């Protein structure tokens, strides 16, 4: 996987630091990102310093694709939740000198508290296997997902999340779990353990297998991992509520109050309930109880209204409040390092005051925000405080703010 960690020679641009004197570099930043056969990009590279980045371009120029590539430097399926095979560039893909088309790869240089790291990810063919495998490399060696998540924490907001409060519970649950991962990387392992045991139990029940010892064992794992998942979610919900309250009621972003619907933390009780629901679950073809039914309820504290009854702009502002509260929590808990913020089309629905307040806040956090938009004028207050690039046909051109 040499190509995942090697610096590319054909850098298309290496901008200097166009920043106001005294601007503080971000403690955590991606300073180089290179993409190979990744969605609309055949081969591109972007170099920046430890400062926020604004990417502007017409619809379909690859702004979200670039943010998605950054998001895939962290374990998981990235900000679109896409299948990993789908990000492979459809033709014309860039071929290597031997004529073969390499699978997609993203590599990056990460700067954290004066150390630099090379992260690489992509798909790798496995001899004898039908499907290629995802790899995650740190400084050229296979990396543990939790280590990479800890090194490069990130949070994102995308236009698809504008409907978070209006749609089913599963998206809100995933959103909450991402907030938990960001503070507690071990959460990913807990969730995966719970999901694996749940799927296995359901498979047995659907196939009419009634091996009591086998089911007992799976339910024990489900109960143990399940209550750990709930406890971690509750812990983060509580911490976020404290942070959100401390942010005060009168800032640009509304004070929100979070609550979790599924709060059982007694493993023995969950295990007994699972054993008692075997027949019902077999008949229904689904697991009727457990933390995979949890929902995140959000209230706008000042309006005393449920988030789903707020306006589109208010909902967006609530989401931003939650994400910023999480970023501040991370900064406090992790050596004063704020996570990367990937903010896709964030300016849509935000009035001019809220936009300015958002910029001020991530600058105060010292977070490297990656922002996209079709029009640079929306980001004018960031002039001399962020890199501005326009994107066209997979190339990045340093541009001034309008
Ligand atoms: N696997 C792929 N192979 C090649 N092109 C792809 C692939 N997946 C997506 N694309 C294309 O990438 C282009 C850029 O998509 P992207 O979502 O990044 O645009 P955008 O700049 O964010 O646009 P908008 O302003 O509309 O949000 C689209 O034209 C899309 O069809
Ligand atoms: Mg987009």
Model pLDDT for residues 163-179, shown as the tens digit of each residue: 999 999 999 999 999 99
pLDDT interval class at 130 (50, 70, 90): confident
Long-range contacts of residues 397-402, Cβ cutoff 8 Å, at least 24 apart? 397/13, 398/13, 398/15, 399/56, 401/54, 401/376, 401/377, 402/375, 402/376, 402/377
In angstroms, the CA 265 to CA 274 distance is: 14
Q: How far apart are CA 151 and CA 147, in angstroms?
A: 6
Instruction: Return the best residue to mutate from 42, 62, 82, 345 for the ligand 1 pocket (most ligand atoms within 8 A of CB).
Output: 62
CA 385 / ligand 1 centre spacing (Å):
28
Q: Which residues pair with 55 in a beta bridge?
A: 372, 389
Q: Sorting pLDDT into bands at 50, 70 and 90, what band is 6?
A: very low
pTM of the full structure: 0.92
| Gap between the Cα atoms of 309 and 296, Å rounded | 15
d(CA 41, CA 43): 6
3-state helix, strand, coil in the chain (%, to 5): 40, 20, 40
The predicted-structure confidence for 138-171, as pLDDT tens digits, reads as follows: 999 999 988 999 999 999 999 999 999 999 999 9
Q: What single DSSP character describes residue 277?
A: T
Question: What residue owns the CA closest to ligand 1's atom 25?
Answer: 59
CA distances from 364 to 25, 46, 148, 336 (A): 11, 25, 25, 12
User: Has residue 11 got a pLDDT over 60?
Assistant: no
> What is the number of H-type helices and E-type strands within the chain?
10, 15
What backbone torsions phi and psi does residue 88 show, to the nearest 5 degrees? Answer: -60, 130
C-alpha–C-alpha distance, residues 117 and 108, integer Å: 8
Domains of the chain: 1-153+335-402 (3.40.50.300), 163-333 (1.20.1050.90)
Strand partners, 115: 112
What local confidence, expressed as pLDDT, does residue 399 receive?
85
To test the ligand 1 pocket, which listed residue (35, 64, 370) has its Cβ within 8 A of the most ligand atoms? 64
Q: How far is the CA of 8 from the centre of ligand 2 (A)?
A: 26
User: Ligand 1 pocket: which residues have CB below 6 Å?
Assistant: 39-40, 57, 59-65, 87-90, 374
Ligand 1 atom nearest 345 alpha carbon: 27
């Amino acid at each position: 996987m040499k190509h995942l960690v090697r610096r590319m020679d054909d850098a298309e641009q290496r901008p200097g630091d166009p920043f106001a004197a005294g601007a503080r570099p971000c403690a955590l930043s991606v300073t180089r990102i290179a993409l190979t056969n990744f969605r609309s990009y055949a081969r591109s590279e972007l170099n920046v310093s430890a400062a926020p980045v604004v990417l502007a371009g017409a619809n379909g120029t690859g702004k979200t694709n670039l943010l998605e590539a950054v998001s895939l430097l962290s374990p998981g399926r990235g900000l679109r939740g896409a299948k990993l095979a789908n990000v492979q560039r459809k033709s014309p893909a860039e071929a290597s000198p031997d004529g073969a088309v390499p699978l997609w790869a993203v590599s990056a240089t990460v700067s954290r508290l004066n150390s630099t790291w090379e992260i690489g990810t992509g798909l790798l063919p496995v001899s004898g296997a039908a499907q290629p495998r995802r790899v995650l490399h740190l400084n050229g060696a296979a990396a543990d997902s939790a280590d990479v998540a800890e090194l490069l924490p990130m949070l994102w907001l995308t236009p698809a999340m504008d409907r978070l409060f209006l749609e089913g519970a599963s998206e809100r649950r995933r959103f909450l779990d991402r907030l938990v991962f960001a503070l507690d990387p071990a959460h990913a392992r807990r969730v995966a353990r719970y999901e694996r045991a749940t799927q296995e139990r359901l498979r047995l029940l659907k196939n009419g297998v009634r091996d009591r010892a086998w089911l007992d064992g799976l339910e024990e794992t489900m109960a143990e991992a399940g209550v750990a998942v709930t406890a971690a979610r509750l812990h983060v919900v509580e911490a976020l509520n404290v942070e959100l309250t401390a942010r005060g009621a009168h800032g640009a972003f509304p004070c929100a109050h979070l609550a979790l619907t599924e709060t059982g933390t007694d493993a023995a009780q969950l295990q007994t309930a699972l054993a008692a629901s075997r027949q019902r679950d077999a008949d229904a073809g689904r697991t009727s109880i457990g933390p995979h039914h949890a929902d995140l309820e959000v209230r706008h504290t000042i309006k005393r209204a449920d988030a789903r009854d707020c306006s589109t702009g208010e909902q967006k502002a609530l989401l931003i409040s939650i994400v910023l509260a999480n970023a501040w929590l991370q900064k406090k808990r992790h050596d004063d390092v704020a996570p990367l913020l990937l903010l896709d089309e964030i300016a849509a629905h935000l009035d001019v005051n809220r936009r300015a307040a958002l910029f001020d806040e991530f600058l105060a956090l010292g977070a490297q925000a990656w922002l996209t938009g079709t029009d640079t004028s929306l980001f004018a207050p960031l002039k001399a405080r962020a890199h501005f690039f326009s994107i066209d046909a997979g190339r990045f051109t340093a541009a001034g703010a309008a």
